[in-house]
Amino acid sequence: MMSPAMLLAVAMGGAVGAVLRFGVLQTTMRLWGTGFPVGTLVVNVAGSLAMGLAVEWLTARGLPDVWRGFLTVGLLGALTTFSTFSRDVALLHERGEMALAALYVMLSVCLSVGALFLGLWLGRGFFA
């Protein structure tokens, strides 16, 4: 059973991450419009980079598990979003923008996974 402290840490991190994602999505829609889901791409790539850094930082510092719950499951889990990514792909497909949908999928996967590895590598250099 999960401790009340862990549940609270995940919930608090999730609240912060959800608000951050909402802010990024609103800001990018105002700046770039709704033709291409820039906001979701930004939160997923930035969140992946932050996940790599967070994992290395938490490991190097030996912080309690509640910090891992707050940062990785809560904050970064709520900041990044696979369901919104999936919806964005479906919307581009329904609008007949197959090339943009394919570009979005490739950019999202390659940049997000690449950002995670970059974060791990940077974290090992900074926090080791």
pLDDT, tens digit, 9 for 90 and up, residues 97-127: 999 999 999 999 999 999 999 999 999 999 8
Q: What is the pLDDT of residue 28?
A: 95
| Residue 24 belongs to a domain | no
**Token pair 């999960």: residue:** 2
Look up the pTM and report it: 0.92
Over residues 65-108, the pLDDT tens digits come to 999 999 999 999 999 999 999 999 999 999 999 999 999 999 99
Determine the average pLDDT of the residues in 45-60. Answer: 95
For 122, the domain range is 36-127
Q: Domain count of the chain?
A: 1
| Residue 21 belongs to a domain | no
| Residue 84 belongs to a domain | yes
| Residue 62 belongs to a domain | yes
**Token pair 């394919």: residue:** 102
The DSSP-derived string for 37-87 is -HHHHHHHHHHHHHHHHHHHHHHHHT--HHHHIIIIIIIIHHHS-HHHHHH
| Residue 36 dihedral angles phi and psi, to the nearest 5° | -135, 135
| Residue 54 belongs to a domain | yes
Q: Which distant-in-sequence residues (6+ apart) come within 8 Å of 20 by Cβ?
A: 43, 75, 78, 79
Q: What is the pLDDT of residue 2?
A: 86
**pLDDT of 128 above 80:** no
| Residue 59 belongs to a domain | yes
| Residue 20 belongs to a domain | no
**Closest to 17 measured CA to CA, from 48, 43, 37:** 43
The whole-chain average pLDDT of the chain stands at 95
| Residue 22 belongs to a domain | no
